[in-house]
Chains A and B, each alone.
Chain A
Amino acid sequence: MKTNLYFRRVAVIGAGLTLFRRRMLETPQELAWEAVRKALDEAGLELKDIDCVVIGSAPDAFDGVHMKGEYLAHGSGGVRKMVSRVFVGGATGVMVPNTAWYHVASGLCEKVLAVAEEKMSPARPHPQSVFRYIWDPITEKPLNPNLIWIFAMEMHRYMYVNKITKEDIALVSVKNKKNALNNPYAQAAANITVDDVLKSEVLVWPVQLLDTSPVSDGAAAMVIVSEDVARRYTDTPVWIEGVGWTLDNTEWTGRELAYPRYLEHAARMAYKMAGIERPNKEIDVIEPYDPFDYKELHHIEGLMIARRGEAPKLLKEGVFDIDGDIPSSPSGGLLGVGNPIAAAGLMKTISIYWQLKGTAGRMQVKKPVHTGLAQAWGDLMQASTVIVMRN
């Protein structure tokens, strides 16, 4: 069942990434330029061909530069072009291609650059400290919380409701860091065991060091075009078939934390558009957002790829391995590749694009793939963005 909305078909024809590393030598603008240059080269286009630029970055405060859309404009190729910037916290990375999609789908633009950049290193002592003012100033701020706190509470609730152990969850970190060994851009690739995760430093119980993704700098870019252009420039376009996004209530204390209902809404929107009725049967490869290992499982359930509480069981059975039925985070995800917030979400979208194009190199999953999905999540555990692509 497809929606009866009228829109133009939209394709991806090029993508580029920088290395994901802590304390990159490049400025944010230089990182953006490097990713865009690679994306243009893969697409076979020049900057003069581009109509419009969509820039994504999570809060300005990470790079320590205010109005980052404007700041990044010349590095992203936006000088004297239509430029817009989107930011929904961690969900930004997939909101960027979604936004580029509606620029093209609406008929407004033919060729759009979707660019995401984040430098997490400049803020000291830690990028966490830029979150000081996101809390309720009266009921939460006095406790001086940070984000790992509330993710720890979410993780604990998820474990309690679904009777999941730390060992079950640690397997995600083991899988993703191992997948990242195949990714030339990765920062935190490693062969680790469940034991290593359980023995790593406890940050905010139950979150331990190897349950989390590292601090990273990096940029990602995609060239997103109309059908006519795609047919002219490539024989292997990858189509954006469904997009979805939602924002839940900022009052996170009022929500059931064991299940990401906001993600279910976003996924339903994307599935309806793409005509997907049984996501676990129809989707071949997924890149769910995994800044923490439990989040990948949480999101797989929110995406309705697994029933509530069943993702850990399927993980243990190998369903989400790189040679499994539904490979999950074959790129290595944020746990393995790194987490420059907005760029990380776009990296996931690019990973699916390369999988569907068949150019993922050593990251390429074993089985043939036709439908893929990338997802990102952010703000105060309340925003989700989903993109479904087909080749």
Chain B
Amino acid sequence: MSWDKIGIEDKLLSWHEIMEAEEYVYTVGVAGEEFFNGLKHKKIIGGKCPKCGRIYVPARLYCEECFVKNDFVEVTTKPYIDTYTVVYKDDEGNKLEKPQVIALIRFEATHGGLLAYVEGEVNIGKEVEILEYKIPLIVRVK
């Protein structure tokens, strides 16, 4: 149950950040591991509630409404742009060379969403194609 593995393979399963402590090593969790392993195989994994049928993206261990354990399923429904924004400066206030488009991607008939860098003519409601399966996703407008 407990986990103590350090190596190249777990790169996707943990990431580093700096706060008051020198650093933090976060665990992606049980559902997170399913989700990230799915990304490695170019799949979007969701968590499906066996009671109400709701599918969470990214995968969630439990249904927050029914409070039962979810099944992990591959999400194959159409990804589309729910909303987007255009970023002109980085987080230190420096002007970006090229404005960055960031979109919230949802999958039809599921709950939740993923952030993505977008290529192509961005518009709300447009279907997208996933170019790279990582965090954030890189997608192209179809």
Q: Which of A19, A47, A79, A133 interacts with B20 by CB under 8 Å?
A: A133
**A residues less than 8 Å from B65 (CB atoms):** 47, 79
The stretch of A124-132, A149-157, A319-327 in contact with B is A124-132
Question: With A30-B61, A122-B25 given, is the CB distance from A25 to B20 under 8 Å?
Answer: no
Is A83 located at the chain interface by the 8 A CB criterion?
Answer: no
Q: Which of A32-40, A163-171, A194-202, A204-212 contacts B (4 or more CB under 8 A)?
A: A32-40
Of B4, B21, B62, the most chain A CB neighbours within 10 A belong to B21
Interface string of B8-25 (1 = CB under 8 A from A): 000000000101111111
Point out the residues of chain B lying under 8 angstroms from A75, CB to CB: 62, 64
**Chain A residues whose CB sits within 8 angstroms of the CB of B29 once the complex forms:** 25-27, 29-30
Q: Which of chain B's residues 20-45 have a Cβ closer than 8 Å to chain A?
A: 20-33
Minimum distance in angstroms from A37 CB to a CB of chain B:
6
Q: Are A123 and B30 neighbours in the complex by a CB distance under 8 Å?
A: no
Q: Compute how far the CA of A132 lies from the CA of B19 in the bound complex, rounded to whole angstroms.
A: 11
Question: Which residue of B is nearest A127, CB measured?
Answer: B21
B67 touches A61 (CB 8 A): no
B66: Cβ under 8 A from any A Cβ: yes
- Chain B contact residue count (CB 8 A cutoff): 28
Report chain B residues within 8 Å CB of A61. Answer: 19-21
Instruction: Say whether A37 contacts B67, CB under 8 Å.
Output: yes
In the bound complex, do residue B1 and residue A25 qualify as a contact, i.e. CB atoms below 8 Å apart? yes
Tell whether, in the assembled complex, residue B62 and residue A124 are in contact, meaning their CB atoms are under 8 Å apart: no
- Is the Cβ of B62 less than 8 Å from the Cβ of A23? no
Q: Is A21 part of the contact surface with B, judged by Cβ < 8 Å? A: yes
Complex: how many Å from CA A21 to CA B27? Answer: 14
A22 at the interface (CB under 8 A from B): yes
Question: Do A47 and B28 contact each other (CB < 8 Å), given the known contacts A129-B20, A132-B20?
Answer: no
Whether A74 contacts B64 by the Cβ 8 Å rule is yes
Known: A30-B31, A61-B19. A77 touches B67 (CB 8 A): yes
Could you say which of B17, B20, B62 contacts A30, with CB atoms under 8 Å apart?
B62
- A192 at the binding interface (Cβ < 8 Å): no
Do A25 and B2 form a contact, CB below 8 Å, given A61-B21, A124-B23, A124-B25?
A: yes
Closest to A119 in B: B27
Pair A21/B64 contact, Cβ less than 8 Å: no
User: Given A25-B3, A25-B29, A26-B27, A47 and B21 touching (CB < 8 A)?
Assistant: no
Residues of B within 8 A of A37 (CB): 62, 67-69
Q: Is the CB of B66 within 8 A of A130?
A: no
Q: Mark A301-345, 1 if CB is under 8 A from B, else 0.
A: 000000000000000000000000000000000000000000000
> How distant is B103 from chain A, measured CB to nearest CB, in Å?
24
Are B64 and A27 in contact (CB-based, < 8 A)?
no
In the bound assembly, the distance between CA atoms of A16 and B19 in angstroms comes to 32
CB pair A30 B30 closer than 8 Å: yes
Q: Roughly how many angstroms separate A29 CA and B60 CA in the complex, as a whole number?
A: 10
Given contacts A23-B3, A30-B30, contact A64 B24 (CB under 8 A): yes
A102-129: CB near B (< 8 Å → 1, else 0) gives 0000000000000000000111110101
* Closest Cβ–Cβ distance, residue B60 to chain A (whole Å): 8
Q: Output the nearest chain B residue to A25 by Cβ-Cβ distance.
A: B3
A26–B21 contact, CB under 8 A?
A: no
Do the beta carbons of B20 and A130 come within 8 Å of each other? yes
B62 — which chain A residues lie within 8 A by C-beta?
Answer: 30, 33, 37, 75
How far apart are the CA atoms of A334 and B129 in the complex, in Å? Answer: 51
Which B residue's beta carbon lies closest to that of A19?
B1
Indicate if A46 sits at the interface (CB-CB under 8 A): yes
Binding site for B on A (CB under 8 A): 19, 21-27, 29-30, 33, 36-37, 40, 46-47, 61, 64, 74-75, 77, 79, 121-125, 127, 129-130, 132-133, 217
**Can you name 28 A-B pairs with beta carbons within 8 Å?**
A19-B1, A22-B4, A23-B2, A23-B3, A24-B3, A24-B27, A25-B1, A25-B27, A25-B30, A26-B27, A27-B28, A27-B32, A29-B29, A30-B61, A33-B67, A37-B68, A47-B65, A61-B21, A74-B64, A77-B64, A121-B27, A122-B24, A122-B25, A122-B27, A123-B24, A124-B22, A125-B21, A133-B20
